[in-house]
Each structure stands twice: as C-alpha cells, then as structure tokens.
Amino acid sequence: MRLIISSCLLGVACRYDGRSKPSAAVRDLARKAEVVGVCPEAASGLPVPRPPAEQRGGRVLLADGTDVTEEFRLGAARSLAKVRARPAPLAVLKAKSPSCGVHHIYDGTYTGSLTEGEGVFARLLEEEGICVVSEEVVESCKPSVEHPVAIVLGTGLGHLAK
Ligand code: SF4
C-alpha cells in the first residue's frame, strides 16, 4: 500500500513556523506503507520559516494582505506531479492548512476560526480522484469496514485502535 502524507505530519520541519507537526498515529500508519511525503508550500519555493497564510475569497493571503495564491498553486501543481509519478489511492493531509486542509480551513481572519473549504493541494488531489483525509481521521480511526480509511486499507488499520 502506498500513501501520500503531509511531510509535517511525519516530522519534517517544513511548516511556516519552521517546525513540524508530527502525529504518532500517522507515523504508525506510515511504518506499514510506502510513503510519498509531500509539502506543497515547500515545493513552491517559499522559504522555511515563512509568514503564515490563509485563504480568503478564493485567494491565499499573508496577514499583511500579500497575495501568494500563485506560489501556493505552483507548489500544489509540483506536488501533484510528484504524486502522479508514484500514484496512491489515499492521502493523509494536515488539517486546517491553506494547502493541505480537508473540508475545513482557517477562514482568512487570523483568529483561529475555521470555514468550510479545501486546501489548494487537497482540492487538486480530490479532483484527481484520490481519497483525502486529515490526520484527525487517522487519529480517531476505529477498525470499522465502513470507515473511509479502513475501506482503502482493508483491515490494516486495526492496530491503530489497540
Ligand atoms: Fe504541512 Fe502541508 Fe503546510 Fe507543508 S503545506 S507544512 S505539508 S500542512
């Protein structure tokens, strides 16, 4: 089984603040799969660390209003090319991120508030037909055949709930 995983969840210090956001459950899952690690923001050429960005009105903006939409699109496109070279049926992406967020992202007010929406890269993967979930799904995963991650991985997630 091959999986696409946000690099920061694997412990890579690629976040805007120069840190990682490791998830024990995701790393556990990664040990049992072939992993395609991706960080679309790093792939864009943006530096680490870099100013935080959020989506607003269909654009990606820094807190000072600087528009970095094209940089985010470039990084997402480069990461998609990496994924296409090593196809995988499932992606586990960092929740809430303007690039990787799944179903909910920060709302552009820099208040920690969320709104419905997809990260720029998450949306590309979904358009590619890849099942995309956040690490929160993996962390809460129970060994149910009805769970979307369990469906993709069969019974291989049972160990996560033990
Ligand atoms: Fe993590 Fe995605 Fe942000 Fe990179 S772009 S630091 S992988 S959330």
Ligand 1 center to 27 CA (angstroms): 15
Task: Please answer whether residues 17 and 41 qualify as being in contact, where contact means their C-beta atoms are separated by less than 8 angstroms.
Answer: no
Distances (CA, A) of 152 to 30, 72, 80, 101: 14, 28, 20, 20
Dist. CA 91–CA 30, nearest whole Å: 11
Ligand 1 center to 157 CA (angstroms): 24
Q: Indicate if ligand 1 lies below 6 Å from the C-beta of 26.
A: no
| pLDDT cut 90: percent of the chain above it | 84
Residue 149 has pLDDT above 80, yes or no: no
Q: Indicate if ligand 1 lies below 6 Å from the C-beta of 14.
A: yes
Reported as a pLDDT band with limits 50, 70 and 90, residue 106 is very high
Residue 145 has pLDDT above 60, yes or no: no
Query: What is the predicted pLDDT for the residue at 47?
Result: 95
Q: Indicate if ligand 1 lies below 6 Å from the C-beta of 98.
A: no
Q: Indicate if ligand 1 lies below 6 Å from the C-beta of 96.
A: no
Reported residue count of the chain is: 162
Q: Indicate if ligand 1 lies below 6 Å from the C-beta of 125.
A: no
Reported as a pLDDT band with limits 50, 70 and 90, residue 98 is very high
Task: Please answer whether residues 157 and 150 qualify as being in contact, where contact means their C-beta atoms are separated by less than 8 angstroms.
Answer: yes
**Domain regions of the chain by residue span:** 2-161
